[in-house]
Amino acid sequence: MLAFGAFAVGTDGFVVAGLLPAVATSLHVTVAAAGQLVTVFSASYAVLAPVLAALTASWPRRRVLVTALAVFAAGNAITALAPSYGLVLGSRAVAAAGAALFTATASATAALLAGERERGRAISFVMLGVTSSLVLGAPLGTLIGDLAGWRTAMWLVTALGLLAAPAIWLRLPGAAGRGDGDLRAFLAPLRDRRVVTLLGVTVVAFTGIYLPYTYVSEIFAPAWAGGSGLAVLLLVYGLSGTAGNLTAGHLADRHGPRRVVVTVMLALAAAFALIPLGRGTFGTAVVTIVVVGFLSFSVTTPQQHLVISLAGPGAGLVTSLYQSAVYLAVSLSGGVGALALEAWGAAGLPYLAAVLMLAAAATNATRAGRA
């Protein structure tokens, strides 16, 4: 049920990018202006996630999750109905508030209900909803947008959120909030240098991960050559990423999240460094994407597992900050990647990503403590 809710939220995050031309035409703005829908969503998500986690710390987890989905659905309904560009922008902030609160709470709740021995697999199953939205939800939403209009696609996302809410309310086992009104106690994990370091590592690592993904069309341009091959590469990336996410969750439970995440980061650095060798033909590009996608999504669960292990009672806040760190990294990857693309060309981006992954692995191994 939590994974289905994450699927709804993830679909919203991914589908808007494919609807931008239609949104721009409908609202009489440029595609660049329509692209600010993504910017507003990401920025609002990053800022609101820890704030909302703190405000709802004492609520029962079921109430938080259902409220988050209700806010999420309301934001998307407003987007679907909004007659003006300004109102659409505002509605994206509302949807982001619900999405941020749901994703962080769902991960923390899954970890709490599963217990320490099954924590990694529980988190990976929730994140399966996000990765499957990349594979299925976003393409389906984009297709519906092409056939019936972008507003219909937003109604689809709204319906997904509304479908998940009653199932969670009726079937999710009870889990009390971890807050007791003492905000200082709730914020205690941020006084732990290891937690703060891990959040910083998360920004560095996911900036490296999203650099090649954001500019995949440029990096693999020699292979897909403007045809439908790019869609195939993105599909392969999503499928291999889903497998990587599930595998990493199991390994984190068995061998410990720290060992797994450091090993994966080192392997991913090597894979990024080898991307220029696999971008020349479509066949080699597919193989490269399989490896990179598998390893990229293998970072998500053990890194989050490691943060939760260190956070203790403050896991709700820390998972929200973790999500903020990821969304900050998404924004940074676009800006940093644009500068690197201008300076070194598309072939230089994977090397920059490899350097970032090496830095993240080294910090995780030497300064982030043990969990």
Interacting residues of 79 by C-beta distance below 8 A, sequence separation 6+: 88, 91, 92, 95, 154
Q: Positive or negative, the Cα torsion across 134, 210, 31, 9?
A: positive
pLDDT for residue 41: 85
Orientation of helix 229-255 relative to helix 282-311, angle to 10°: 40
What are the structural domains of the chain? 2-183 (1.20.1250.20), 187-366 (1.20.1250.20)
| Positive/negative CA dihedral, 353, 354, 359, 364 | positive
As a whole number of angstroms, the longest Cα–Cα distance in the chain is 58
CA dist 137 and 85 (Å) reads 25
In sequence order, the 6+-apart residues with CB closer than 8 A to the CB of 278 are 284, 285, 287, 288
Token pair recorded at residue 53: 């986690």
Burial class, 343, CB count within 10 angstroms (exposed 0-12 / middle 13-18 / buried 19+): exposed
Is residue 300 very low, low, confident or very high in pLDDT (cuts 50, 70, 90)?
Answer: confident
pLDDT of residue 371: 45
**Per-residue confidence (pLDDT) for residue 362, from 0 to 100:** 93
Q: Is the pLDDT score of 368 beyond 70?
A: no
For residues 160 and 11, the answer to whether their CB atoms sit within 8 Å is yes
Band (pLDDT 50/70/90 cuts) for residue 267 is very high
Is residue 57 within 8 A of residue 317, CB to CB? The reply is yes
Tokens of 62: 């079921």
Token couple for 162: 């509304």
Using a 10 angstrom Cβ sphere, with 0-12 exposed, 13-18 middle and 19 or more buried, the burial of residue 35 is middle
- Average pLDDT, stretch 238-261? 86
* 157-172 residue pLDDT tens: 999 999 988 988 887 7
Binned at pLDDT 50, 70 and 90, residue 360 comes out as very high
User: What is the band of 69 on the pLDDT scale with cuts at 50, 70, 90?
Assistant: very high
pLDDT of residue 181: 46
Residue 311 is predicted with a pLDDT of: 65
Q: Is the pLDDT of residue 250 over 60?
A: yes
pLDDT band per the 50, 70, 90 thresholds, residue 205: very high
Alpha carbon distance 113, 164 (integer Å): 19
**CB distance 74 to 94 below 8 Å:** yes
| Mean of all residue pLDDT scores within the chain | 82
DSSP state of 136: I
The count of C-alpha atoms lying within 13 angstroms of the C-alpha of 77, restricted to the half-sphere facing its C-beta, is 12
Q: Is the pLDDT of residue 204 over 90?
A: yes
